[in-house]
Structure 1
Amino acid sequence: MKRIGFFATTATTAAVLAASLAGTVTGSASAAPQVDPLTPGPHKVAEASYDLGNEAFQPNGFPKPVELAGQVYHPEKLADSAYPVVVFLHGRHVTCMSKTEPRPKLAWPCPTGYEPIPSHLGYDYVAKQLASHGYAVISLSANGINGNDSLDPQYGQRARGELVLKHLDLWNEWRSKPGGPVPITVTRSFDFTRIGLMGHSRGGEGVVNAVAQNALREKPYKLRALLPLAATDFERRIPVGITMATLQPDCDGDVSDLQGVHYYDDSRYYVNTDRATRNNVTVLGANHNYFNTNWTPSSGLQGAVDDWRGDASSPCHPSKPTRLTEQQQRNVGIGYIGGFFRHYLGGEKALGPLWRGETGVPASIAPATVNVSYHPPAASGQRLDVNRQDGFRDTNTLGGKVTATGATQTRCGGSGVEPASGSCLSKPGTRLTEPHRGWGFSGVIAGRTAWAATGGTVTNEIPAQHGDVKKYKALQFRGGVDFSDAANVAGQPQDLRIVLTDTTGKSASVKASEFGKALDYPLVSGAQGDVVPKLHLNQVRVPLTAFAGVDLTKVATVALALDVNPTGALAVADLVFTD
């Protein structure tokens, strides 16, 4: 039996087979987004709440029972065709507030004089937008797990996954039997063959657990899209066989090491038959809490704070133009959380250029800087790996020769827990500044490329049998600026040329800076204990049409020419041709 979303952890040795293609959608290239992701859809939105009790459900192995409560958002008009279903799960937050006591509590059920903090209502701005475009969105309360997860060896993560599936069971039952918060005629319009999951913080790891548990069911749900938002990754699970995007806020003061990026990094090449698409989204100036309106200071609710930590000199300080306001960050949420499900779950092809990284940030989401990395499945013929940069040998992933001239290359990442081991920084940092390096287990393996004089190159030979790349649309790689190395001028963007040469010797080159801000210098603070800077690996994507005059049926080499700036040091990974 095929199942969507098989999992493994890096601590296990069991073989993992990928499942069938999970909702991958492609679209045509475009110079600009064809739709504004912040424009509301045509549907009027209805919503309803439900609450079966504070102790209605006992997750397996969890120390105490928890609530079954949530909020549903859906188009008011019944569907001519079924509406995809999206489930939201909030993260760990204080659970109870009082009108008379100054401090909130982390407990469940709430003691006398306290009432539950409605964390699950904090995503209504995204939920209503999705519902207006023809989606049923169910946002779950997880206060019972938050109030007692310190008593659980798994920190409540498996209980969170089980809670998601329990709610799906309820809604599946309500499609044929009375008892739900909306009429059966409404729930029958919910498409249970297209289900997406979004989890925030520990809820992000919770929905990852839900996919893992679902895969073990005799009759699993059709989970098609997964979005861990500013997520934890305590168990270091590797999701495969399901379309996924991870979203990392650069000014996150809670999950400050941005460990959720490992869901993307660890799974890229884990199973060579995997047919799922992956994205990683990095948002500069965004913190952890502002994606939830009820965790945000303007809500007036107890426990709502700006989680970023630092002082007024930091680019993450609310007074700085590099820091997003509450509304600006919510615009990012609508555009990239909502846009993810609209594209990959609902099949809106017009959003494809945004998710392949072909376009800049939509004007409606400005001034946010958002970097998107795109990793399509090689198993479906959408990607040709040239050099994964997973170890510096004389040959690349295709078996072609690799030649470095005027540049030094060393392996970085893939290290254990020691900060000095395998660092991608010239001054080895910690897991806070190098989220891609990993902690506890091996992180992403990249290559550190440095040059001290203009004119260096790193050339990858393309074997003849792989030289015809005309079916692909772009050449791309991921790169990150080493802010700890004086070879990169502080505050100045780094740059290089990408050079394509065919077998007749014809060449064409373009600058990376012409195609986005991936190699910009990261946000840096001089404040002690600030959450920035970070070494992000951002995508540089160049359309093959930019290489004028080169015969794309007979490509001989791909080179990175290090002659734009006199000196530099970069971490580089994932050099590929792609759709």
Structure 2
Amino acid sequence: MSTFVLSAALVLSACGGDSDSNDDFSEAPAPRTQPDPVTNTTAADAATMGDYAVAEEEYDFGRMTVYDNKNGDSYDTDIHGYIQYPQDADGPFPVVLFLHGRHGTCYDGWGIDDDDCANPIPSFRGYEYISENLASHGYAVISVDANDINDNDSGPSNGDTGGLARAMLVVRHLDEFRDINAAGGLGLDALMGKLDMSEIGIMGHSRGGEGVNQTVLYNRAQPEPHNITAVFSLAPTDYNTQTVSQVNFVALAGYCDGDVEDLMGNFAYDTSRYAVDNDPYPKFQLIPMGANHNYYNTVWTTDSRPDDWTILDSDGDDPWCGENAAGNGRDTPELQQAQGLFFIASFFRYFIGHESDFAAYWNGQTPVPGGICPDGQGPCDDRYLLSVHAPAADRLVIDDTLDPASLTTNNLGGSVWFDGFSSYGICQTNGRPGEGCDVATPTFNIAEQLFMAWDTSATYRSELLGLNATDYQVLSVRVGVAHGDADNESGQDFHVILEDRDGNRVEALASDYSDGLFYPPGRAFYDSNHGSQKTTLNAVDIPLTAFEGVDFTNLNAVELAFDETPAGTVQITDLVMQRVDF
């Protein structure tokens, strides 16, 4: 992700031209000019504590019955957790809820119900470093204890159960706090009138990620649904193929996750991005290249096997993800929690609290703060691969590659051409094995995608039919560098070319605007002792100001010219024009 000044993209009328003259650009219609929230060149740092002292209440609201729609079981669970909020402040405070994932529930031994053991494992306490920070900035944060669900769905025979139970538990907690806000009670009269539940954010980790994803649909089916508008799915499972629509949604999948090693968060992102026509909310895919599964939760970080990568790689010697490998690419627990704080806190402070300081990162335009870089300074955007899928009204799809027709015709009805490739086609991977695109197994994105291989200069061309692009700010495409091709080992690069109907052509180099075009690191994934190497699809976002000199009111074609390296293979999807100041 490269830095660029968004406000320049809002004056594309200075870059376009009419069809009669290439020299007089003054007649091009002006694009929309809503205010540009981006004024900084590095994303605002969320790590600093706010001005409020933090109050906390641990609560126990009794028991409820939850259902397992996978096997028909039902059982009771505690309605237990804590809420942190600004002390001695009037509010109302925006509400965020956290849900941990599947983990052991008792330090005394596996299989002991947490209600019956002397030392329950407090997984719900593992995100205090985030909840305290948010509360100090004026938010009320609920963290839910889901140990009773883990007691009932964690046996190997139960497979992917528990998603509905977790969704029911989340909604019940929100119901209780809605009642407390209205009338007090349950020992929390101090919170009456202090909770702003007009827009609610929810975060779930691991199975909790799948739980909050399922909460979106379950909540909408209730007689009095809550207005959940932001969902952060942290290293989620996706056994139930969740579609997360009509909310601001981010799915984070750590490249070195040894528990959800197939990066199922990418699956949820792929499934959700075009699921609902006219979806007014953006979607995000986020891949931290050095992150494992457990370190985001401080309780799990201190357990007997905190580095879940060793589940796959018992020797820990994978050259990228193995902590015992010299020069590995891993994040320390401290660094991973610093990034967890930045991503989760900034997401909710922007999309729930509407703090515009955090727009710059989530608009996909500015580097991460140096505090989450290994050297503490940065830049390090090659370690955090963010893909942005703008709301429907701010997105014009050139080619979503959702159909084999993409080999000949794009979404606009324009022709598609492949010139000089040794092979090309369309494929879709099948989820957990990552198979289905033979050019790179595994590929852990399930989007339908094009693959293209070349051993001489080659060009992909998509006709734009006189497209007027003045409403948009970036040209985006998601690209995977196929690890099955040794010609990619030094990474890949290519030119992106815009052409207008007067024949003006301007090119931009992809690597100037993306840090994600490197060869996937690590030992082979399906090695006898698992490696980390897998291909993912990541964004190349080029500001339209990079193409100054073409007539943005009358575009003829976009090309991807593979002329920077002698040979290689890539996979692509989501060729779109976007506005990103949503």
Structure-1-length-normalised TM-score: 0.86
Residue 426 (1) aligns with residue 433 (2): no
Are positions 1:322 and 2:333 aligned together?
no
Q: Residue 38 of structure 1 is aligned with which of 47, 50, 55?
A: 47
| 1:450 corresponds to 2:456 | no
**Cα distance in 1 between the residues matched to 2:159 and 2:530:** 30
Residue 342 of structure 1 and its aligned partner are, at CA, apart by 1.2
Higher deviation after alignment, 513-522 or 158-167: 513-522
Residue number in structure 1 paired with 2:476: 476
Residue number in structure 1 paired with 2:395: 383
Picking from 458, 461, 464, the partner of 1:462 is 464
Deviations 1:468-493 (A, max 9, x none): 112211111100111111231x2x22
Q: Distance in 2 between matches of 1:40 and 1:560?
A: 45
**Inter-partner Cα distance in structure 2 for 1:27 and 1:224:** 23
Deviations 1:43-69 (A, max 9, x none): 22222211245xx22213544311121
Who is 1:16 aligned against?
Answer: none
Distance in 2 between residues matched to 1:485 and 1:26, nearest whole Å: 45
Matched to 1:157, the amino acid is G
Match of 2:11 in 1: none
Matched, 1:222 2:218: no
1:159 is matched with which residue? 165
CA shift, 1:532, in A, is: 1.1
Give the letter aligned to residue 412 of structure 1. C
Question: Which SS does the other structure have where 2:487 is aligned?
Answer: coil
- For 1:402, give the aligned amino acid: V
| Other-structure match for 1:538 | 538
Give the C-alpha shift of residue 154 in structure 1. 5.9
C-alpha separation between the residues in 1 aligned to 2:252 and 2:401?
23
Q: Are the aligned partners of 2:292 and 2:307 in contact in 1 as well (CA < 8 Å)?
A: no
Question: Could you give the per-residue CA deviations for residues 270-324 of structure 1, whole angstroms, max 9, x where no partner exists?
Answer: 2222222101100101000001000013xxx456454443232431122544100
Closer/same/farther in 2, CA of residues 256 and 531 from structure 1, 3 Å limit: farther
Name which of structure 1's ranges 288-297 and 228-237 shifts more when overlaid on structure 2: 228-237
Q: 1:27 to 1:211 in 2, by over 3 A?
A: farther
**Runs of 5+ consecutive residues of structure 1 not aligned to the other structure:** 1-24, 99-103, 438-443
- Give the aligned partner of residue 200 of structure 2: 195
After superposition, the C-alpha distances for 1:326-368 in whole angstroms (9 at most, x for unaligned) are 0110111011111111111111223222113212222121136
Q: Which whole-Å CA distance do the structure 2 matches of 1:370 and 1:181 have between them?
A: 43
What is the aligned partner in structure 2 of residue 209 from structure 1? 214
Match of 2:536, as an amino acid?
H
Work out whether 1:132 is the aligned partner of 2:136.
yes
Q: Distance in 2 between matches of 1:50 and 1:72?
A: 8
For residue 531 of structure 1, report the CA deviation from its aligned partner: 4.7
Q: Please name the residue that 1:51 is paired with.
A: 60
**CA displacement at 1:258 relative to structure 2:** 1.2
What TM-score do the two structures reach when normalised by structure 2?
Answer: 0.85
Secondary structure, in 3 states, of the residue corresponding to 1:255? Answer: coil
Partner of 2:8: none
Query: Which residue type is aligned with residue 40 of structure 1?
Result: M
Contact 2:43 2:369 in 1 (8 A): no
Partner of 1:282: 287
SS in 2 for 1:97: coil
Partner SS for 1:171: helix
Alpha carbons 1:277, 1:376 under 8 Å: kept: yes
Structure 1 residues 26 and 161: CA distance shift in structure 2, 3 A: farther
Contact 2:183-2:192 at 8 Å conserved across structures: no
**Is 1:374 aligned to 2:388, yes or no?**
yes
CA shift in 2, pair 1:537/1:365, >3 Å: same
Change (3 A) 1:459 1:234: same
Describe the superposition over 1:373-396 as per-residue Cα deviations: whole angstroms up to 9, x where unpaired. 110122x2x011111123333211
Percent identical among aligned pairs is: 34
- Partner of 1:72 in structure 2? 83
Cα offset, 1:73, TM superposition: 1.2
**Residues 342, 318 of structure 1: alpha-carbon distance in 2 compared, 3 angstrom cutoff:** same
Q: 1:334 aligns with which of 338, 341, 348?
A: 341
- For the structure 1 residues 31 and 552, does the alpha-carbon distance in structure 2 shift closer, same or farther, using more than 3 Å as the test? farther
Does the 8 Å CA contact 1:171/1:187 hold for their aligned counterparts?
Answer: no
Contact 1:30 / 1:359 at 8 angstroms: preserved in 2? Answer: no
Separation of aligned partners in 2, 1:295 and 1:135: 25
CA contact (8 A) 1:94 1:303 kept: no
* 2:416/2:460 contact within 8 Å kept: yes
1:248 positional shift:
0.4
Which of 337, 362, 365 is the aligned partner of 2:369?
A: 362
Matched, 1:435 2:444: yes
Mapped partners of 2:418, 2:496: distance in 1: 14
1-structure distance, mates of 2:517, 2:349: 29
Q: How many residues align?
A: 523
Partner SS, residue 384 of structure 1: strand
Tell me: CA distance 1:460–1:322, structure 2 relative to 1, closer, same or farther (3 Å).
same
Q: Is the 8 Å Cα contact of residues 160 and 206 (structure 1) preserved in structure 2? A: yes
Distance 2:519 2:160 in 1: 38
- 3-state SS of 1:331 partner: helix
Report if aligned partners of 2:61, 2:186 keep a CA contact under 8 Å in 1. Answer: no
1:501 aligned residue: 499
What pairs with 1:20-31 in structure 2 (closer than 5 Å)?
28-29=37-38
1:168 equivalent in structure 2: 174
- For each residue in 1:234-256, what CA deviation from the matched residue of structure 2 results, as whole angstroms up to 9, or x when unmatched? 11121211111100011001111
Secondary structure, in 3 states, of the residue corresponding to 1:58? strand
Kindly state the Cα deviation for residue 267 of structure 1 after the two structures are TM-superposed: 1.6
- The match for 1:4 is none
Judging changes above 3 Å, is the alpha-carbon distance between structure 1 residues 566 and 133 closer, same or farther for their aligned structure 2 residues?
Answer: same
* Of 251-260 and 29-38, the range deviating more from structure 2: 29-38
Question: 1:343 aligns to what?
Answer: 350
Report if the CA contact (8 A) 1:386-1:398 is conserved: yes
Is this contact kept in 1: 2:262–2:434, CA < 8 A? no
Distance in 1 (CA, whole Å) between partners of 2:356 and 2:184 is: 36
Structure 2 stretches lacking a partner, 5+ long: 1-33, 375-379
2:67 alignment partner in structure 1: 60
Alignment deviations for residues 449-480 of structure 1 (CA, whole Å, 9 cap, x no partner): 11111x2111111112xx21122111111001
Moved more, 118-127 or 344-353: 344-353
Per the alignment, do residues 258 and 26 of structure 1 end up closer, same or farther by CA in structure 2, a change over 3 Å counting? Answer: farther
Following superposition, the deviation at residue 31 of structure 1 comes to 6.3
Report what 2:419 is aligned to.
Answer: 405
Indicate how the Cα distance of structure 1 residues 291 and 26 shifts in structure 2: closer, same or farther if over 3 A, else same: farther
Q: Distance in 2 between matches of 1:221 and 1:514?
A: 43
Select the residue among 223, 234, 240 that pairs with 2:239: 234
